[in-house]
Amino acid sequence: MPAGNAVRKERPATRASAGRAQAPSRGKGSAAAGRGSRGRLQPAGGKPASSPRAGAKAKAKAKASRAELSYFIMLPTLALLLIGLVMVFSAGSVMGMGQGAGGYKYFYMQFGWAVIGFGLMAFFTRFDYHKLGKLSLAGVLLSLGLLGMVLAIGTEIGGARRWIAVGPLTLQPTELAKVTLVVFTAYVLAVKGKKTRKLSHLLFPVGLFLAADVVLMMLQPDMGSTLVLCFCIMLLFGVADTKPGHLLALGGGGAALALVFAFSASYRRARLFSFINPWKSPRGAGYQVIQSYIALGSGRVRGLGLGMSRQKFLYLPNAHTDFIFAIIGEELGLIGTLVVVVLIGLLAVGGMRVARRAPDDMGRFLAIGLTALIVIQAIVNMGGVTGLLPITGVPLPFVSAGGSSLVVCMASIGILVNISRQCRA
């Protein structure tokens, strides 16, 4: 028994000594396994531990990715702006000389608006878009007030009262109304979230302000801006996971009201359908479309040459504004028009990339809305010039002469760049 007790007492000691003997080997094994090829320690999982150099590389990569997004937006914008300045000088020179103001009149005006636009764009690239959402209600109310002023004291040009004269300048409040309502809608949809699946949360307050804008715009009348704005807001509703039934009801109701308004006056009805067969009224509603066809056809593939347009000699009305795309086709040919289309397409792709990588819903909705606002306007303008859509008087963004449109579009680009600077890597 004593011997057996001695054996039992020795066994724990043996296990303890064995454990002590194995402990160093385990420690050495883990240390060896934890060392990489260069002797740096690694976690047990085998992945390299984060280091200041790796963190700096990740930050640099994220910064480069955001910069790429910004360039994808800025470069097409600058190219379109440059084309616009050149073509406004070419297309507007005849009009300026006819007014006794010289051939540089419209170029100088457009260049001045471009400088103002650059200032606003630079400001909004630094102004946090989240703060912009909180200020958007004030912008919507201001634009409604200006739209009301247009009906009371506005300047009438070409049978439409859309401008407010401020000294030698004319401002078009519809441009401000469109962008402020898009910003406000993006903010409301982001704040309400899933509540927007209820129709009441769509109708108030966004639907209420949209209806007010539509009524005031149609009284000018400005059907083109009305359609562009409605399309943008409906697109945002769709992106916000609105019920399909609600979208159909709102879209169907809006389309019905637009048709009623279009058929309520004979001149509107004639202009709306003139693009289908402009030769039915070659000196009336179809005149502009036919002259646009002549300009585009004359340019063929390579164009007549910069400054060599014949249609700008008062054959084509509004050659430097609504129909500048036709002058591009005449002077620069099919190649020039395709360049403009590609630049608009690149801008659309850049805006959608910003929306996809936006840090939050507010940024996503805002990027989609502002991109759509620019791209839809371009489609409506080019569609009207080529006879694929009715003529609505919507300018070609960054290209057509017009200060209000240019300044608002450049401010929108500044907001997109601000969102891109906060995007996920």
What residues make up the domain containing 272? 66-420
Residue 83 within any structural domain of the chain: yes
Residue 25 within any structural domain of the chain: no
What tens digit of pLDDT does each residue of 252-301 get?
888 888 888 777 777 777 777 788 889 988 988 899 999 999 999 999 99
Report the pLDDT value the prediction gives residue 321, as an integer from 0 to 100.
94
Bridge partners of 169? 166
Instruction: Quote the pTM value.
Output: 0.84
Residue 40 within any structural domain of the chain: no
Number of domains in the chain: 1
Closest CA to 383 of 337, 416, 347: 337
Residue 16 within any structural domain of the chain: no
* DSSP string across 102-141: -TTHHHHHHHHHHHHHHHHHHHHHHS-HHHHHHHHHHHHH
Pair of tokens at residue 169: 């300048």
Is the pLDDT at 41 greater than 60? The verdict is no
Residue 99 within any structural domain of the chain: yes
Residue 54 within any structural domain of the chain: no
What tens digit of pLDDT does each residue of 162-188 get?
999 888 788 999 999 999 999 999 999
Report the pLDDT value the prediction gives residue 57, as an integer from 0 to 100.
66
What is the pLDDT confidence band of residue 55, given thresholds at 50, 70 and 90?
low
- Which residues, including other chains, have CB under 8 Å from residue 296's CB and lie 6 or more apart? 326, 329, 330, 337, 385, 386
Residue 9 within any structural domain of the chain: no
Residue 425 within any structural domain of the chain: no
Is the pLDDT at 87 greater than 90? The verdict is yes
